[in-house]
Structure 1
């Protein structure tokens, strides 16, 4: 729905709607019960758009809601009747509000996507544990340095993706990656604690050509970095055509000396192996 006044047209079929996308969460909706709704997307392309009061999203009104995407939220410290979400996608300008939401569905959350508009320079103390989280994506939406990394406990994380629409981050955007088996990064980092990469066996990198050469060199010479790595994939989106051709030539002639289980690295203009939310949730 693109017009807020269209909301009245769905009142008689509210109990049949399974997926709803709208930039408006208007005052007429609270009295309705969306008994069949599994996916709700409150999308707003304007930076200063309408705030959504998440206190209105309750299990009583949305008993089967499992997938929620919201671009602007009204932070509320208590969510006593929040639905048991499986996937949550937020655009946040500070870290206080989304932490409350994540805590409210921590026992059920499988996928979390966070787009951060501004750097976070400090964190409040948090004990958030997301025991079922398997898929985490963090996107940085500003040019300056990143600030502090994400501060949540994700003991069973498998798929980790980070992206940057301006400049590659100078460090990993999440600090709890020791369980991650699949990673997609916009920069190649050697973490301070090599245990961070201990279980990763699939690594995807989108790098400039010089960074591509550097990453390949370091992975070749130091097998303690990503020691279980079996699949290495590069995306050529940040390279000139001649650079991508040279990178492809280098990989065709490449031989691993210290990684016997490693497959031949690949490079393409798209990701060959997808780490999609749909592969392990019921979206």
Structure 2
């Protein structure tokens, strides 16, 4: 039985909303991993869909997004969302994801929509922000108490000690002073931290030199579990991919590509 399904538009270009009324438990009783490989508007989402463990989705409109997240919320363990834009953003919504352990969001427009979408994931272990816009993501995951691995495109604000072991930060140069001061003075919020990395992609050569000078001057021995001193790097040295991630659709893999038909006007 089919366990993995990758949905593609017929010609690689999204033109119309796609009717997902076919995505029923009776049609796909064993489906666990669903990958929307291109940008989709969603409609006709069944009230009961297959018991999904993985959902990978790229969205350009908010149409159908709250519905599909709610439909698979009880079973979802891994969620990857890429936001290319929100032509018609939905109103603010919350979704409870009790079994989610892995969440990755790539948001190219940040918080310019004026609405927040709250993900409640009490068992989350890995949280990744892959921002191309400088603002925070429109998706907020406020339950990071259980997270052990995280990547932020902004300086996170924690009020209580965390369980983070790996922390990766992609910050503007102007934000580094405050963040470095927070880290270097105390391990109160990060008592288990083993790896701390800063990405230099948004800095020029003089800024890179200044941050490296600051990092070298600080005494990082307050972090007793730190594997090596914090580093400013060009590429992440720790790959925070999902454990036991399903293989991507491709030749000779047990995964089926479906070309969705374009409705006739």
TM-score scaled by length of structure 1: 0.72
Greater per-residue helix proportion: 1
- RMSD of the alignment, in Å? 3.0
In structure 2, distance between residues paired with 1:144 and 1:56 = 33
User: Which one of 170, 184, 199 corresponds to residue 220 of structure 1?
Assistant: 184
Paired position in structure 2 for 1:56: 22
Instruction: Measure the CA separation in 1 of the matches of 2:2 and 2:162.
Output: 42
Q: Distance in 2 between matches of 1:190 and 1:239?
A: 23
Q: Could you tell me which residue of structure 2 aligns to residue 75 of structure 1?
A: 43
- Residue of structure 1 in register with 2:106 after alignment: 139
SS at match of 2:215: helix
Shift of 1:96: 6.5
For residue 90 of structure 1, report the CA deviation from its aligned partner: 1.9
Higher RCO (CA 8 Å, separation ≥ 6 residues) = 2
Mapped to 2, the partners of 1:56 and 1:98 lie a distance apart of 17
Note the C-alpha offset of 1:265: 0.7
Match for residue 92 of structure 2? 123
Q: Is the 8 A contact 1:76 1:100 kept in 2?
A: no
Paired residues of 1:178 and 1:198 also in contact (CA < 8 A): yes
- Note the C-alpha offset of 1:146: 5.6
CA offsets 1:25-63 (integer angstroms, 9 cap, x no match): xxxxxxxxxx445231326865x6332212112233334
- CA gap of 1:157–1:73, structure 2 versus 1, over 3 A, is same
Residues 1-283 of structure 1 mapped to structure 2, 5 A cutoff: 35-36=1-2, 38-42=4-8, 46=13, 49-70=15-36, 71-76=39-44, 78-80=46-48, 82-93=49-60, 97-116=64-83, 117-118=85-86, 122-124=91-93, 126=94, 128-142=95-109, 145=112, 147-169=114-136, 173-191=140-158, 194-195=159-160, 198-256=162-220, 258-263=222-227, 264-277=229-242, 279-283=243-247
Distance 2:217 2:134 in 1: 31
Unaligned runs of 5+ in 1: 1-34
Give the strand-richer structure, 1 or 2.
Answer: 2
Following superposition, the deviation at residue 172 of structure 1 comes to 8.0
Deviation for aligned residue 1:276: 0.9
Q: Secondary structure at the match of 1:40?
A: strand
Note the C-alpha offset of 1:164. Answer: 2.2
